[in-house]
């Protein structure tokens, strides 16, 4: 076991730079200088400080395999040193309580990893919590965006994350989101059942970054608003949203949107805007009026799509579909009861009912017309 006082003193000196007590910097012990140097002795021998933070990082990484426990270390002193680059791996839990700055790409691995403060720096961060929980207690990239962010574990708790590159969250048992996820045109991928602890915006900027909830188990629940904005990228949602605890609102925008069943409070406050195709992948019944928009950029390419077997049922409320074309595959259907169904052809196109598909028009075939039912009281 390393004496905590020695670790604090030596780490503090290492972060400060070369010794000023008369010992030459070159004579200070470093992990790089002698591969056989005992890591504990190198911290304490002659009370010499390490000359560079990089040496402290290398030494600390080596020391983890010699039984260093994170609880023995003063996180306030070690924060910027621990995250100065490379990788730190422990067989137990890893915890850093203070704000951290990345000086290089960094991987933190433990059976549970907790970062209690903020994390900044234009480098990539990977947090691998194995069978434990990955906890990001502070904003990540709030002052200086990271280049990438990857977190995995049985559970994950993530506040706001800002990166220039991609973000990936994987949590087999569940992930809690309590802040916005923002990239500069790069992908955001979540493979986990998600609980919203606050209103959340996932925004990949104006570029082609995609937003993905991967697989049918990647559900979202929580009585908060969720906004998914993918710019010119696609949004693919694999699991149900609001199936257990209804969302207060859902707003989805991007190029191609793939949307499963969604539950919001009173079925209200749902907005879908696709530059290209809007596909509803699961059947649903809505008790509030809805407007579903494909071909939002008006370039004449973008359909409203119901795959075969999917039913869209409006509970006697209005439905408006704006698109370049309508694609009701197989046995899919639209029913509005006494509600009004409005089909609005985008880009100044004509609407052809029961006709033959042709360029420059929204065509609703005879078969599709038979599967659109409205019963209006007179």
Measuring CA to CA, which residue among 143, 138, 172 is closest to residue 158?
A: 138
Which strands make up the sheet holding 319-323, listed edge to edge? 161-162, 181-182, 200-203, 225-229, 249-254, 270-274, 290-293, 319-323, 341-345
**Please, which residues have CB within 8 angstroms of residue 210's CB and are 6 or more apart in sequence?**
187, 188, 189, 204, 230, 233, 234, 235, 236, 254
User: How buried is residue 357: exposed, middle or buried, by Cβ count under 10 Å (0-12/13-18/19+)?
Assistant: exposed
Query: Is 49 domain-assigned?
Result: yes
Taking the CA atoms of 8, 9, 12 and 13 in sequence, report the sign of the dihedral they define. Answer: negative
Rounded Cα gap, residues 44 and 60, in angstroms: 13
Query: Is 366 domain-assigned?
Result: no
Asked whether the beta carbons of 42 and 29 are under 8 A apart, the reply is yes
Query: Is 39 domain-assigned?
Result: yes
| Helix count and strand count (H, E) for the chain | 5, 34
Return the higher-pLDDT residue of 1 and 368.
Answer: 368
For residue 26, what pLDDT band results from cuts at 50, 70 and 90?
very low
- Residue 32 predicted with pLDDT over 60: no
- Residue 260 predicted with pLDDT over 70: yes
Q: What percent of the chain has pLDDT over 70?
A: 77
Number of domains in the chain: 1
Rounded Cα gap, residues 160 and 258, in angstroms: 25
Query: Is 27 domain-assigned?
Result: yes
Asked whether the beta carbons of 261 and 238 are under 8 A apart, the reply is no
pLDDT tens string 200-250? 999 999 999 999 999 999 999 999 999 999 999 999 999 999 999 999 999
Which tokens belong to 245? 């605890």
Average pLDDT over residues 8-29: 36
Q: What percent of the chain has pLDDT over 90?
A: 70
Query: Is 260 domain-assigned?
Result: no
Rounded Cα gap, residues 37 and 115, in angstroms: 30
Rounded Cα gap, residues 65 and 85, in angstroms: 17
Rounded Cα gap, residues 251 and 109, in angstroms: 35
Rounded Cα gap, residues 174 and 70, in angstroms: 25
For residue 1, the SS3 value is coil
Give the model's pLDDT for residue 40: 31
Looking at residue 323, what DSSP letter applies?
E
Beta bridge partner(s), residue 136: 115, 158
In this structure, the number of other CB atoms found within 10 A of the CB of residue 342 comes to 12
Query: Is 29 domain-assigned?
Result: yes
One DSSP character per residue, 207-270 reads SS--EEE-STT--EE-SSEEEEE-TTS-EEE-S-BSSSS-BSEEEEEESSEEE--B-BGGG-SE
Q: Which pTM value belongs to this model?
A: 0.81
Rounded Cα gap, residues 25 and 11, in angstroms: 15
Query: Is 224 domain-assigned?
Result: no
> Cα-flanking dihedrals φ and ψ of residue 110, to 5°?
-170, 170
Which tokens belong to 271? 């907005």
Query: Is 30 domain-assigned?
Result: yes
Full residue range of the structural domain in which residue 71 is found: 1-82
């Amino acid at each position: 076991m390393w004496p905590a006082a020695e670790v604090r003193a030596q780490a503090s000196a290492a972060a400060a730079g070369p010794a000023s007590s008369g010992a030459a910097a070159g004579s200070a012990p470093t992990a790089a200088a002698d591969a056989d140097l005992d890591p504990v002795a190198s911290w304490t021998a002659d009370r010499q400080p390490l000359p560079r933070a990089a040496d402290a990082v290398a030494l600390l990484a080596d020391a983890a395999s010699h039984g260093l426990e994170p609880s023995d270390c003063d996180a306030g002193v070690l924060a910027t040193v621990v995250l100065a680059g490379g990788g730190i791996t422990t067989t137990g839990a890893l915890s850093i309580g203070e704000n951290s700055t990345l000086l290089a790409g960094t991987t933190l691995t433990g059976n549970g990893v907790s970062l209690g403060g903020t994390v900044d720096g234009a480098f990539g961060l990977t947090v691998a919590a194995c069978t434990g929980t990955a906890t990001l207690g502070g904003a990540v990239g709030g002052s200086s965006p990271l280049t990438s962010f990857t977190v995995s574990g049985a559970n994950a708790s993530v506040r706001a994350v800002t990166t220039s590159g991609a973000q990936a969250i994987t949590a087999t048992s569940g992930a809690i989101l309590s802040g916005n996820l923002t990239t500069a045109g790069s992908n955001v991928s979540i493979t986990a059942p998600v609980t919203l602890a606050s209103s959340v915006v996932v925004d990949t900027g104006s570029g082609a970054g995609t937003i993905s909830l991967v697989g049918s188990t990647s559900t979202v629940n929580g009585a908060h608003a969720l906004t998914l904005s993918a710019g010119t990228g696609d949004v693919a949602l694999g699991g149900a949203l609001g199936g257990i605890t209804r969302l207060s609102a859902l707003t989805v925008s991007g190029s191609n949107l793939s949307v499963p069943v969604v539950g919001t409070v009173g079925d209200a406050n749902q907005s879908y805007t696709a530059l290209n195709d809007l596909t509803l992948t699961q059947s649903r019944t809505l008790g509030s009026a809805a407007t579903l928009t494909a071909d939002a950029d008006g370039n004449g390419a973008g359909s409203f799509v119901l795959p075969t077997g999917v039913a869209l049922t409006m509970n006697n409320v209005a439905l408006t579909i704006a698109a370049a074309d309508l694609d009701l595959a197989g046995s899919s259907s639209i029913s509005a009861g006494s509600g009004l169904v409005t089909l609005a052809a985008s880009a100044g196109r004509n609407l052809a009912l029961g006709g033959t598909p042709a360029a420059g028009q929204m065509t609703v075939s005879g078969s599709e017309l038979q599967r659109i039912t409205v019963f209006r009281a007179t």
